[in-house]
């Protein structure tokens, strides 16, 4: 059963890093992106590091020319242990979307943010 739990005030979520909140036994990273708030389980599916405590970043993509481009700035979180990059909106590992961390629905009521766990 999913329950809506108060996470924090909107002003407590930085725009360049996750706000880590603990709800029961779950550590959750709450992110503010340009389309709203997103919440991911703060556990990396690779080896269990605190994924959401890694940097919010973009990624490099190879082009058909001998160069790389940096894109998606601010839409990814990079695990601090081995550098795997995850889409903050979906929780998916960029290299293999079948590997993902759990995501949670988020709702905003006034200045209060709730995570549905
Ligand atoms: S534990 Fe996260 S990339 Fe290895």
CATH number at residue 83: 2.102.10.10
Give the residue-averaged pLDDT of 89-110.
Answer: 98
State the chain's mean pLDDT as an integer.
97
Which pLDDT score is estimated for 31?
98
What is the average per-residue pLDDT within 30-50? 98
Domain count, the chain: 1
Residue 88 burial by CB count (10 A; 0-12/13-18/19+): exposed, middle or buried? Answer: buried
pLDDT score for 18: 98
Mean of pLDDT values over 77-89: 98
Range of the domain at 92: 4-116
Q: What is the pLDDT of residue 19?
A: 98
Residue 43 Cβ inside 6 Å of ligand 1? The answer reads no
Tell me if 93 CB under 6 Å of ligand 1: no
Answer yes or no: is the C-beta of 79 below 6 A from any ligand 1 atom: yes
Q: What's the CA-to-centroid distance between 57 and ligand 1, angstroms?
A: 16
Which of 60-69, 81-90, 102-111 has the weakest average pLDDT?
Answer: 60-69
């Amino acid at each position: 059963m999913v329950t809506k739990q108060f996470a924090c005030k909107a002003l407590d979520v930085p725009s360049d890093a996750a706000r880590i909140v603990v709800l029961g036994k779950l550590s959750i990273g709450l992110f503010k992106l340009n389309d709203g708030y997103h919440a991911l389980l703060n556990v990396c599916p690779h080896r269990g590091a605190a994924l959401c405590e890694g940097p919010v970043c973009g990624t490099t993509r190879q082009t058909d020319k001998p160069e790389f481009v940096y894109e998606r700035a601010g839409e990814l979180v990079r695990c601090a242990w081995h550098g795997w990059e995850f889409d903050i909106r979906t929780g998916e590992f960029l290299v293999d979307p079948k590997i993902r961390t759990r995501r949670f629905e988020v709702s905003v009521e006034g200045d209060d943010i709730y995570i549905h766990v």
